[in-house]
Structure 1
Amino acid sequence: MADEAGNREAFRIQEFYCSKMGAPIYARLCAAIADGLTRNSRTGTRILDWPGEPTRDALPLRFIGGLHALVRAGADAGMAAVFRGDTSDPEAIAVALAAALVAHDDFLWPWLDGPPQTNEPGRSSELMVGLMEIARRHGPRIELLEIGSSAGLNLLIDRFAFDLGGVKIGPADAPVTIAPDWKGDPIAPVPIHIVSVRGSDIQPLDATDPAIEARLAAYVWPEAPVRGERLTKAIAMQRAEVVDLVRADAADWIEARLAEPQEAGVTRVLMHSVVWQYLPEPVAERIRAAMNAAGARATAARPLGWVMAEPDRAFAHHVISVKSWPGHAEWQQLGTAHAHGAWIKLGIEERDKRRYDLPESAKVVAG
């Protein structure tokens, strides 16, 4: 049953995330939507009558992605001023929003049909922190399996260069270097060699399709231009060399991959970021069961790892977590990170460790 108050509150929750993530333009826009959205358009009515759980469904990000696409198409000067930050007065934002909804109702309506598939390449740095811990435990050679790969941008992780607080990883001549602001403990260098990278998604996107590229760009917050530049370069890397991305149910795919022969001296690793919240619980439970069963069979010669960077609801950041077999079957939280990889903080304060006992339970979209 629709809950108008709850649907408005979802935009207030997103306002909090945006404020915490250094995105004041989007925060102001979310506040204006929460306070001023009306039923003067089909799209506005659909948002207010949203039947699902709006935060889990990423309703605010669906809608704002459509607004940004409108601006990127040069179709609405009023909203363009809002997205540039030229219009910051709440009443003026509300007026621009109301006008856009009436004038571009048909354009905005389909943006509510599915969740955003941002697949932010900056999150590869968070995943790399986890992979370094796996390499430290089990050796440098790693076979990567990613679920929820979306457009496959993080499947380029072996082709990106990283600067993690001064620790350099990856090809020196990589078109994309990901260098998050580093906080907390330094990370110890460790040899790492990714021998293969494969991914799956229930609805994969072909980022090399110009229409899909434009859609992905609409989900990139304009307040962080480095993200847009990185997206463009990452898609160019895909055009130069395709990634191994298939359409599949996450549980079906993982079960099949874990049943394949594993090369000796190579650690097989499941990784994902901002994915777990989207999985139906039966699918998530099958993945847990498959990983635990495969972990029980793992040996020193053929280890198994699991790396995730998933959101924490209260603090609007990611938690980087790892477990591996044999010998490390309990989750270890390595640190926290900005939802788009802008910063990483290695280390979890003792008082916060109990918050992250069950990283599988994360159920928030930060964007």
Structure 2
Amino acid sequence: MDAEYKAIDIDATGAEAVATAFENQVAYCRSNGADITACVCEGVYGLLETSRGGMMMERVRRWAGPPLADALPLRVAGGLHALHLSGEEPDLRPLYTGKRVSDVTELLADVIERHEAVLMPWLDTPPQTNEIGRSANFIAAMLWLAERGLPATFAPFEIGSSAGANLMLRRFAYDLGGVRVGKRNPVVELAPEWRGSPPPDREIRLRRSIGCDIAPIDLTDPAEQARLKAYVWPEFTERLMRIDRVIASAMESPPGLVQADAADFVEAQLAEPRREGETQVLMHSVIWQYLPDDKKARITAAMEAAGAKATKDAPLAWIAVEANRDTHKHECRVRYWPGGEQEVQLTNAHPHGAWIEWVAP
């Protein structure tokens, strides 16, 4: 299958939109070095025009919502990966260990039909890709903000926190193009391949982060841990090892995560008195595309209203690491108040933090 990323309305529905969502996912995975996940998605794509796959595939074919916005291919892929990780389906082992499988579509048809009851619930909720590699962008952005003269003590709050792994960013250490930030004995050290100039070398401090998710994952719950791992692409074993370390840290001290609507949470955080000498910062990664337009509008309006009242000694910033649907790249973009109300792109980035390209002006 020569999959190519096709431009599509993210809110498009129907059979053609379903097929395009899977084709785009195959192209996206291949471009990011995830050949096994691409193979899985391609195998499921091959089932779309057949009658195989039982009620689960029938639901996929007749998907009621927008399959691209709903990340439908990743829901299916997550369920199949979870089934493999459980050890309940040995026939999947060759596929997930990178061995040649003569007919992936036929294999997946059989597996899906045998395990329909286990796999169906994976269609009910969006993926939870709580990748801590993205936090390197947050830290690089804070270095840039400190260079701009904002207070170098940051008080982050996050929406779409999933399991809250990125709320633990002050427990990590970072090597960002030779600029080192963070703990001496970190839970995890992140050293993405750095492209371009390094970020500013500044000393920053982080307050304890707080965050929300509409359906948070409890990192201390073994079942939820397994669910989170299922959404890690199997090619990236380092990511699985990082999650294990983050889980161990969360067992000792859980992240500051609450269940809440994203817009309600932002409005509540901004209503709290802001401390002088600190930069309050909203951060989020790969969540914006899943929010309804009215929620996005409320968050934007709340940030701009709060920004209008921000002062030099108590500023406000907004760091977003999200996919650009036009370029098919992930980007880190920043706004801050007062003085930098216009959005500035700082990086292009691998979706899971493998590399970062610094493009800041």
TM-score normalised by the chain length of structure 2: 0.93
Match of residue 331 from structure 1 = 343
Matched, 1:83 2:96: yes
1:207 alignment partner in structure 2: 219
State yes or no: 1:62 paired with 2:114. Answer: no
Could you tell me which runs of 5 or more consecutive residues in structure 2 were left unpaired when the two chains were aligned.
1-11
DSSP 3-state at the match of 2:109: helix
1:248 aligns with 2:260: yes
Give the drift of 1:298: 0.6
Letter in 2 for 1:120: E
Give the Cα separation in 2 of the matches to 1:179 and 1:316.
Answer: 23
Contact 2:219/2:225 (<8 A) preserved: yes
Counterparts of 1:103-182 in structure 2, within 5 Å, are 103-137=114-148, 138-182=150-194
Three-state SS of the structure 2 residue aligned to 1:333 is: strand
On the 8 A contact 2:26/2:38 being kept in 1, the answer is: yes
Contact 1:87 1:93 in 2 (8 A): no
Partner of 2:171: helix, strand, or coil? coil
Matches of 1:88 and 1:80, distance apart in 2: 10
Q: Structure 1 348/302 Cα, relative in aligned 2: closer, same or farther at 3 Å?
A: closer
Against the structure 1 CA distance between its residues 95 and 348, is the aligned structure 2 distance closer, same or farther, given a 3 Å change threshold?
Answer: farther
Deviates most, 311-320 or 164-173: 311-320
Query: Displacement, 1:273?
Result: 0.3
CA distance in 1, matches of 2:312, 2:17: 50
Q: Deviations over 1:59-103 (max 9, x none)?
A: 0000000000111111222222111111344xx111211110111
Tell me how far 1:261 sits from its aligned partner: 1.1
1:253-292 deviations in whole A, cap 9, x for unaligned? 1111111111110011000001111111111111111110
The residue matched to 1:334 in structure 2 has which SS?
Answer: strand
Tell me, in whole angstroms, the C-alpha distance in 2 between the residues paired with 1:139 and 1:257.
19
Cα distance in 2 between the residues matched to 1:313 and 1:257: 29
Of 1, 6, 20, the residue aligned with 2:17 is: 6
- Structure 2 equivalent of residue 312 of structure 1: 324
The alpha-carbon deviation at position 187 of structure 1 amounts to 1.8
Distance 2:83 2:288 in 1: 30
Pair 1:267-2:279 in alignment? yes
Q: Return the alpha-carbon distance in structure 1 between the equivalents of residues 47 and 65 of structure 2.
A: 21
Q: CA deviation at 1:29?
A: 2.0
Whole-angstrom CA distance in 1 between matches of 2:22 and 2:93 = 20
Matched, 1:21 2:48: no
1:211-245 deviation per Cα after TM superposition (whole angstroms, max 9, x unaligned): 00000011111101000000111111111112111
Q: Is contact 1:2–1:49 with CA below 8 Å preserved after alignment?
A: no
In the alignment, the residues of structure 1 paired with residue 43 and residue 158 of structure 2 have an alpha-carbon distance, to the nearest angstrom, of: 37
Report the CA distance between 1:202 and its aligned residue: 1.2
Name the counterpart of 2:228: 216
CA deviation after TM superposition for structure 1 residue 6, in Å: 2.1
Match 1:96 to one of 98, 107, 110? 107
Q: Which residue of 1 aligns with 2:86?
A: 73
How far apart, CA to CA, are the structure 2 residues paired with 1:289 and 1:6?
31
CA shift, 1:348, in A, is 6.2
2:300 corresponds to which of 269, 288, 303: 288
8 Å Cα contact 1:316/1:339 also seen in 2? no
Query: Cα RMSD between the aligned structures?
Result: 1.5
State the shift of 1:323 in Å: 0.8
* Pairwise CA distance, 1:139: 2.3
What is aligned with 1:356?
A: none
* Aligned residue identity for 1:208: T
Q: Secondary structure at the match of 2:46?
A: helix
Tell me the equivalent position of 1:42: 55
Query: For this pair of structures, how many residues does the alignment match?
Result: 347
Instruction: Give 1:315 deviation, angstroms.
Output: 4.0
Instruction: Check conservation: 1:66, 1:111, Cα contact below 8 A.
Output: yes
Q: Read off the aligned partner of 1:108 and give its amino acid letter.
A: L
Q: Does the 8 Å contact 2:144/2:200 carry over to 1?
A: no
Asked if structure 2 preserves the Cα contact closer than 8 Å seen for 1:8 and 1:35, the reply is no
What percent of counterpart residues are identical?
44
CA distance in 2, matches of 1:315, 1:33: 26
Residues 337-360 of structure 1: CA distance to partner in whole angstroms, max 9, x if unpaired? 0000110000169xxxxxxxxxxx
Q: Which amino acid aligns with 2:219?
A: A
SS at match of 2:215: coil
Distance 1:317 1:283 in 2: 23
> Deviation of residue 142 (structure 1)?
0.8
Deviation at 1:322, TM superposition (A): 0.5
Matched with 1:300 is: 312
